[in-house]
Amino acid sequence: MKKISFIANLFVLSVFMILVSSIPVLALDFELGTPTTPSGDPGTSVTVTVDITNNNQDLSKTYNVAGSLLTRSGGTEIIGAPSSTTTGPIAEKGGKGQGSLTINLPVTLAGIYTGTLTVTDTSDSNNKLEVSYKVTVNSKNSIEFFDGSSKLGTLSVRADPKKQTLLKSFTIKNTGSTELTNIQIKSVPLFNNIQITGSVDKSSLKPSESMSGTLTMSIPEDPSIETHEKSITVSSTQLPSASFILELKIQPQICKSGVQGTVKVEIKDPDNGDDFEIGETISIEVDVDNDDTKKHDFVVEAILYDKTNNKKLESVESDEIEIDDGDSEKFDLDLKIPTDEDIDEDDDFALFVKAFQDGKESLNCDEDSIDIDIEVPSHKVIIEDASLTPSSVNCGDTVTATVDVKNVGSSDERLVRIRAREPSLKIDVLSDPFEIEEVGQDDESTQTLTFQVPGDAKAGQYTIELLAEPGTANKVSEFRTLQVSCEVPTSMVELTLPSFTIKVDQGSILDIAVTLKNNANSEKTYTIEAKAVGDFASSDTEQLTLAANEQGSVTLSMNVDSDTDTGSKNVVITVKEGTNIIATKSAAVLVESKGTPITGAVTVGNIFGNTRNAAVFFIIADILLVLIALYIVVLIFRRRKKE
């Protein structure tokens, strides 16, 4: 009987234990439900929740919910412990609440990860319950690509056309939850004679592992300057296809060391796709930003490039401009499309600009570019150079005009002439017609013509228009300056003035003796003019005719203003032959106030103004003397009669 009783008791106890294990965990104060078992992809978050019942009969309760790290079943991979949370207060006498934990699923192997969840009464740390909790990391195959720390959608690579082989590395990362095996980069089909192959550091990656991949680009000689976009595919046994875009830009090395530093440049004008003609000047506007924390001097260079034939056509560089830190400046440049290059309008052209720190391009340089179209018109000629020989002449001289004409059109020009004209000189001369072939053939010609400056032209500076006049295209012209003096050589006439300072009173007559010598081999008539500098006296003009090698003198008389300031003055003496000025000198004058004592040698002319006035004085004086003598004689006779 005792044995039967023992067996019966053991059976009852076993049944009790089974029943207890199937009901929620129970404590004196609270009880826990069964935690949820969420699942998610690697790199996502899931939330575990657990029901909490407060069995305390008197007090509401607040509880802390914490979780341990989780370990993959059958493996050693772990998921870090989640952050603890607090829930409550939960009302007494069977009040219910819910605790939760958020678990960040890393990139790790797929599977079930198990840990311990602990709920603690915040008012009594000994009053706590523990249960097991689980999360599942789903199975997922995934690869991501990186250039440095940047996730790749497009990998941009710039290839210098002068370099035939280019290597570019990138990073391959397993972002899934399965191990990837037999990893390889698929070759890109040949295009434009460009070959792209790839290689990897190893053939397999566990979750979260990374490795390098390398693209090798073989570029032919003289490739077209253009941008290619190709899909680069990485495959594995578990993931047959994962890809990104390779943007291969074939263009010349604009910044010598590549784009560097904090400077930024942008072409504001012209716009992408704008049209220009051969020989035209492109006006370029560029904005440069200095994003550095210091001010720097920057220079901008613009380059016209033939993308089809892979060659630079023309370039121009700006002056340096200082830009403050965080500031920007506008640069303006003019670039002329050359006419001495074999330009085909069907080719592709680009305008590159770079902005760089003066003297430190390797540290601070940025670049920008646009595509432009260059058209070759059917009929167009230009003047490449023009000159006048000599450029400084006298009246009656002969001048030779030289004009270099170039045909930049696609058709021959058969009736081209050059012309020189200046209306005020009545110059209008035209060359005989000549022919120049289409651009790229015998498309240049240098032509000359002569013209004579009129003998009666006025001295001065004249603008001569030099034109090229084709029979079927628009006229073009250049302007050159011709200096016309119309002076005889200084040695042909000698002008002599007093070497001393001439003194004169306010309100008096100023006489200046002028001596001329005609050194020419023929008779000359000269006009001599005296003009006061500052208009302190009136002007005077005299004429003098001299035979060959003859010398003569004239006196110029000027009325000095009575209210002019005293002191040193100047009078300009000008000698003209006809309307041409042939000699000029300045005479020194000292104006004194009236009544100033006269010192030193004095001439009658200085006292009476000029020789004509002096002659009148002597005549009057003679008459007065005669009258005085007659008066004395009369007085003598009267006295004798009285006696």
d(CA 401, CA 554): 44
Mean pLDDT of 124-133: 94
Whether the domain at 21-137 and the domain at 381-484 fall into the same CATH topology: yes
The predicted structure's pLDDT at residue 22: 41
The predicted structure's pLDDT at residue 617: 52
d(CA 361, CA 74): 59
Query: In terms of CATH, what superfamily is 21-137?
Result: C2 domain (2.60.40.150)
The predicted structure's pLDDT at residue 600: 36
Residue 255 exposed, middle or buried by CB count within 10 Å (0-12, 13-18, 19+): buried
Cα 198–Cα 202–Cα 205 angle in degrees, nearest 5: 115
CA atoms within 13 A of residue 222's CA, in its CB half-sphere: 6
The predicted structure's pLDDT at residue 527: 93
Q: Find the range with the poorest average confidence among 316-320, 346-350, 366-370, 566-570.
A: 566-570
* pLDDT, mean over the chain: 85
Mean pLDDT of 249-269: 90
pTM over 0.75: no
The predicted structure's pLDDT at residue 415: 83
Contact 554, 540 (CB under 8 A): no
Q: Write down the domain spans for the chain.
A: 21-137, 143-250, 263-375, 381-484, 490-608, 610-643
Residue 419's beta-bridge partner residues?
A: 430, 467
d(CA 592, CA 590): 6
Mean pLDDT of 21-27: 42
Model confidence pLDDT, tens digit, residues 158-211: 888 877 888 999 999 999 999 999 999 998 898 888 999 999 999 999 999 999
Mean pLDDT of 371-378: 88
The predicted structure's pLDDT at residue 196: 92
Q: In CATH, what class is 143-250? A: mainly beta
Model confidence pLDDT, tens digit, residues 85-119: 999 899 999 999 999 999 999 999 999 999 999 99
pLDDT of residue 595 exceeding 90: no
Mean pLDDT of 498-513: 87
Model confidence pLDDT, tens digit, residues 409-450: 778 878 888 899 999 999 999 988 988 888 777 778 898 888
pLDDT of residue 620 exceeding 90: no
- Quick one: fold of 263-375? Immunoglobulin-like (2.60.40)
Q: How far is CA 524 from the centre of its chain?
A: 63
Q: How would you write 429-442 as a 3-class SS string?
A: EECCCEEECCCCCC
473 — pLDDT class (breaks 50, 70, 90): low
- Quick one: fold of 490-608? Immunoglobulin-like (2.60.40)
68 — pLDDT class (breaks 50, 70, 90): very high
Classified as helix, coil or strand, 623 is helix
80 — pLDDT class (breaks 50, 70, 90): very high
| Of residues 272 and 342, more confidently modeled | 272
- Quick one: fold of 381-484? Immunoglobulin-like (2.60.40)
The predicted structure's pLDDT at residue 5: 54
